[in-house]
Structures are given as structure tokens and as C-alpha cells.
Amino acid sequence: MIPLFVDCSGRRIVIFGGGAVAARKAAYFSGNADITVVSRSFVPAFDELKITRQELDLAKATGTKLAHILTGAFLVIAAVSDPEVNNRIGRLCKATGILFNNANGETGDVILPAVSHGENYTLAISTGGNSPAVSRYIREQIEDTFPALDAMIALQDRLREVLKVQVPDQKKRSAILAKVLHDPAVWAALASGRSDVWEDIRTRYLHG
């Protein structure tokens, strides 16, 4: 498997299962896709999500009924407690070329990573499904270690634009950007929310 970032706007995503795992999967896409959740019952966590509910006893659902539900789906996620039900859905998806993620059963062709994101970045971490706990741990470590990551990216973007005008030499521009990125004082200032960070950058790196 290789990592990809995919625009799911307007895409139809079908999630089978109404438990906590299915709710987490739905929350992953909430607000970014057209989500339908199919289950006999739904945990309260779904109440806060923008989804369409479809009540169905999946253990008794016919292949024709499932195929009808899958029509037009971009991605299907099976998160039912019974792996045999999940595997059955997976086989239908494979036969029709629909991307499939299996939360409990035979591995599908899509894995949902642990994600850390801000206004300016998205980081996805995966262990190939072997240890979701490790993926979450790495995500938490990144967020704890770099609380100002979003601010640093915004600062770098602003600095790049200024350097394009003030510093003709590309190697010198890259060197300045690297020095700022590796400057502990800049990271600390951004993390503390200081308002004079840009002026400090200009004084130390643009007028030196």
C-alpha cells in the first residue's frame, strides 16, 4: 500500500456498523463526504455527525439488498462486530471495483491512518493495520513535540515570499529558511504566541 491524499468532497462513502468503531470511521470523513451509515442500531456518537442513517439487520440482508446499497459508493467501510459479515461486504466491493476498508476481518485495499492536522498541514501515520495504538501514539508524540507546527509552516510560507523579492540567490534563500526552521528560539516564540515573532525574524535573518 502507498499513501495518498484524496479529495472526498461529494463522494459517497458507505459505512456498515453502528458501534463505536463505525462512529470513529464516520467522524473521520464527517463534513468532507456524503456518508451513509447502515446498521440495525446506532450509538449516541452518531448524533453529532452529519450522516444519513439506514436501518438494516446486516446478518439477514440479501446480496441484492447489499448490492443496491453499494451502488455509487466511492469507498465502503465494514465495521460490524462479526468479521464474516464484513468479509462478505468486502467480497461484493472487490467484485464491483469499490474501494474497501475492513475494520474487523480480511484486509481490504484501504487503511485509514491516524491523522494529525492543522490549518497548514496534514500528517497521516499508519502501521499497516498491525497496531492502531502505535499510530495514535506517534500522532500524539508529534502533536506534543511540535505544538507550533501550524504556526511555523505559516511563518515559512510568509518568509519564502519575502525572500523571493529580497534574496535573488536560491541557495541563500534555502539556507535562511533552514536556519529559521532549526532555530529553537523561533519555535519557542511561536509556541508562546508572541506577537513580535515576525519582527524578530526580519531583524535577525533579513537585515543581518
pLDDT tens digits, 73-118: 999 999 999 999 999 999 999 999 999 999 999 999 999 998 998 9
Dump pLDDT digits (tens) for 138-161: 999 999 999 999 999 999 999 999
Domain boundaries, the chain: 1-112, 149-206
Q: Which pLDDT tens digit goes with each residue over 28-41?
A: 999 899 999 999 99
Going by pLDDT thresholds of 50, 70 and 90, the confidence category of residue 208 is low
Report pLDDT digits (tens) over 39-73. Answer: 999 999 999 999 999 999 999 999 999 999 999 99
Segment 20-27 shows an average pLDDT of: 96
Q: Is the pLDDT confidence value at 207 over 80?
A: no
CA distance 177 to 173: 6
Q: What is 1-112's CATH superfamily? A: NAD(P)-binding Rossmann-like Domain (3.40.50.720)
Place of cell 467501510: 77
Q: How confident is the model at residue 132 (pLDDT cuts 50, 70, 90)?
A: confident
Whether the per-residue pLDDT at 1 is higher than 90: the answer is no
Average pLDDT, rounded, for the chain:
94
* The model's pTM: 0.81
Average pLDDT of the residues in 172-196: 96
Long-range contacts of 34-40, Cβ-Cβ distance < 8 Å, separation of 24 or more:
34/10, 36/12, 36/69, 38/14, 38/69, 39/80
